[in-house]
Copies of this chain bind each other. A is one copy, B any other.
Amino acid sequence: VVRMTIDPAADRPAYRQLADLFRKQIVSGAYRAGSRLPSEPTVAQQYGLGRETVRRAMAVLRAEGLVITVQGEGTLVRTPAQPRRVRLGPGDWATVRVPSDGERRGLGLDEGVPVIEIHRAAGASELHPGDSTTIFTG
């Protein structure tokens, strides 16, 4: 089965077109949270692409925090994390960044999850997972 949705001659690279296709299906709910995407060889064969092209598309989605990939299992749509709230008091400030690989694993975070650093007026600082966290002033 060949689907004509990827145009190798298009301006946009094939792996980005493929990422666009899956992103649409994920955000639209066609792929529900926790569900598994088709395996890389399956997608490659269906769209007439090499496996590396498929893997690059998956890497894009991981970097955006839409999916996670587990070796031996597959690529899964990420389940929304428990919502948290962090209060920013007078004199506090917050900054944001993408953690380094080691830091991310040390915090137990998935790819595509930025970290929020809260600098308290007292001098201390806290790290919070960037997804699922809302910053508010009380």
Contacts and interface: CB of A to CB of B under 8 A. Distances in A.
Interface string A91-125: 11111111111000000000011101000000000
B114 A19 contact: no
Interface residues of A, number: 33
Interface of A: 16, 19, 23, 59-60, 63-65, 88-101, 112-114, 116, 130-131, 133-137
Contacts of A64: 98-101
Q: How many copies does the complex hold?
A: 2
Given A19-B101, A23-B100, A114-B114, A134 B88 contact: no
B65 A97 contact: yes
B98 A114 contact: yes
